[in-house]
Structure 1
Amino acid sequence: MRKQQPAPFWNPLIAGGAAGTAVDVALFPLDTIKTRLQSSRGFWGAGGFRGIYAGLASAAAGSAPGAATFFCTYESMKNALNPLVDPKRYFLVHMFAASVGEIVSCVVRVPVEIVKQRTQAGQYVTSYQALKGTLKSEGFGGLYRGYTTTVFREIPFSFIQYPVWEFLKAMWSQHQGKDVEPLQGAVCGSIAGGFSAAVTTPLDFAKTRIMLADKSSFEARSSIVAVILKVGRSEGVKKLFSGIVPRVTWISIGGFIYFGVYEAVRKFLQFST
């Protein structure tokens, strides 16, 4: 695989911010449906198809910094480690870089996810009320409930998604004898995202249950493994895959938009400098 010259730090910052905002705003209704399907109140109890844009304000506000933080970390780690690793083992670099990127970006994303999902599930009417209510009832720490769970979900997802994305791009690039175009990178991202989403749905299900749970409940005090085991025993293994269709659909389409916008903006910035 051909080595690429490291881009300036602000390239992934701007490209990542644009990609995150584009995908979260465009596909927000599907994310709402997925959240309500996973809610312990059930889809209709959590709001059904009513107010499917509830929580959009928090998602829009957090999308750019969350994605920008991830891609800055991801690209920086790749640039630092690629020269030290045999090209045949670049997938290990991609796995490690994506994992570190998720740990860092979740510092921004988890509070946004808390506010967004509680609004989506009908616990609050607006994002502001969700933020205010969470701080009042649980304090600042309440905004980070599920941080470990989210990281635990995102790392396996990224372990699969980013190496697959990079691999597909490399194979396509090798086949045509030149770097992939943004549209081609978007197709690779869609395939990688959909596959990763299906495999990690139980982790996403448990994360949603923990974030939506009452602070005194078992779920709120439990680990992701404990929640998966409890639901598997009491509600059946099938329940752990609730929301898999909108999740895979959302992330497949989202992967196309996310990686397509990222590649297009980054290419534009490279040609502009």
Structure 2
Amino acid sequence: MTNETDLPILTSLIAGGTAGITVDVTLFPLDTLKTRLQSPCGFFASGGFQHLYKGVGTAAVGSVPSASVFFCTYDTIKKIFSKQVDPVYLPVIHMGAACAGEIGSCLVKVPIEVVKQRQQAALEKLSPLLICKRAIETEGYLGLYRGFVTTTLREIPFVLIQFPIWEWFKAQWYCAKKENLSIIEVAACGSVSGGIAAAVTTPLDVAKTRIMLAEKNIHSHVDCWRLRTSTMLINIYREQGVQGLFAGFVPRVLWITLGGAVFFGAYQAAVDFCSQSDVLR
């Protein structure tokens, strides 16, 4: 396991991209099930258990740049500030770095997520280009950023929980072992921290999904851009109670628990490979 505070930017880019595409492709069916469970149309009306890989191409295209941007930002900020502060303040550095990385990542991630989730929840087969065209025709180019605020409001609390816990688990494990962690041990830390963060932030994920799936009706006077996270959460609670706020809880927590292991395991494996490669030295 390489010292992550000394990672070059190119290593962070490659490792982040590798981790992103690995987890998105391998666990995509769980993501589809979660999206359909959260759909306002209902699980079976949105496709049920059929075609669980709808939208996987879109997800694969977006996963590499979004994860690369995140880890490049996260590792760079951590590298700059970790050696300048007392170790007791390291969780604050990790939280700040994760927030900055997530905001940058969302600029790439949200348009991909909008297209992917509409593919997942649509009964008919729609191409990514057709979904983009529809969104632009009815809402302009900002239609591709539907749910951006909601996504960042979901992702920032998520990374504020996940990354300090991940770093803390690794530090405690390192202190117990007195040697660097293996890829499997890093993956285990990512799995547990991801599951905890996923459980806590599920209501925000439900609101984000509902907002992204809502398409503007050109014959309606209702402006879909007035959909707000707080309003959506209140509406879901009024219609379905607490159960509605935690729709898709099991597949989401399972997906991110497994995904945390795959994601951080792939990230660490890529870091170790890049660190040993003559090309990147």
Contact 1:39–1:208 at 8 Å: present in 2 too?
yes
Q: Which stretch of structure 1 is more off in the superposition, 202-211 or 178-187?
A: 178-187
* Cα displacement string for residues 84-107 of structure 1 (whole angstroms, at most 9, x for unaligned residues): 221111011001100010001100
| Alignment deviations for residues 79-136 of structure 1 (CA, whole Å, 9 cap, x no partner) | 1111222111101100110001000110000000000000000166232322222222
What is the match of residue 131 of structure 1? Answer: 132
Q: In the alignment, residue 201 of structure 1 is paired with which amino acid?
A: T
Asked if 1:251 corresponds to 2:251, the answer is: no
Aligned to 1:194: 195
Give the match's secondary structure for 2:62: helix
* In structure 2, distance between residues paired with 1:108 and 1:124: 26
1:140 partnered with 2:141: yes
What is the rounded CA distance, in whole Å, between the counterparts of 1:193 and 1:218 in structure 2? 35
The alignment status of 1:203 with 2:200, answered yes or no, reads: no
Q: CA–CA distance in 1 between the matches of 2:253 and 2:177?
A: 29
The question of 1:238 aligning with 2:262 is answered: no
Distance 2:198 2:124 in 1: 27
The whole-number CA distance in structure 1 between the counterparts of 2:46 and 2:226 is 22
Per the alignment, residue 228 of structure 1 pairs with 233
Q: Which runs of 5+ in 1 are unaligned?
A: none
How far apart, in 1, do the equivalents of 2:209 and 2:37 lie?
Answer: 10
1:203-258, Cα deviation, whole Å (9 max, x unpaired): 00000000001325576522111111111122212110000000001001100000
Q: Tell me whether 132-141 or 225-234 shows the greater mean CA deviation.
A: 132-141
2:5–2:82 Cα contact (<8 Å) kept = no
Aligned 8 A contact 2:5 2:75 in 1: no
Specify whether residues 71 and 124 from structure 1 end up closer, same or farther in structure 2 by C-alpha distance, changes over 3 A only: farther
Deviation at 1:3, TM superposition (A): 7.0
User: Where in structure 2 are the equivalents of 1:10-49 lying within 5 Å?
Assistant: 10-49=10-49
1:213 and 1:220 in contact (8 A); partners too: no
Residues 123 and 105 of structure 1: CA distance in aligned 2, closer, same or farther (over 3 Å): farther
Distance 2:85 2:94 in 1: 11
Other structure's SS at 1:47 match: coil
1:235 is paired with a residue whose SS is helix
Cα offset for 1:57? 1.2
One-letter identity of the residue aligned with 1:250: W
Paired position in structure 1 for 2:70: 70
**Cα distance between partner residues in 2 of 1:30 and 1:142:** 26
Tell which deviates more after alignment, 167-176 or 124-133. Answer: 124-133
Aligned residues between the structures: 272
Q: Which moved more, 1:117-126 or 1:86-95?
A: 117-126
Q: Which moved more, 1:141-150 or 1:125-134?
A: 125-134
Deviation string 1:22-56 (CA, Å, 9 cap, x unpaired) is 00000111100000000000000111111111111
Distance (Å, rounded) in 1 between the aligned partners of 2:4 and 2:68: 20
**Counterparts of 1:134 and 1:29, CA distance in 2:** 25
Gaps of 5+ in 2: none
Question: Structure 1 residue 137: deviation in Å?
Answer: 2.2
The AA in structure 2 aligned to 1:244 is F
CA distance in 1, matches of 2:135, 2:60: 19
* Distance across 1 between alignment mates of 2:197 and 2:47: 28
Is contact 1:124-1:130 (8 Å) kept? no
The secondary structure found in structure 2 opposite 1:20 is helix
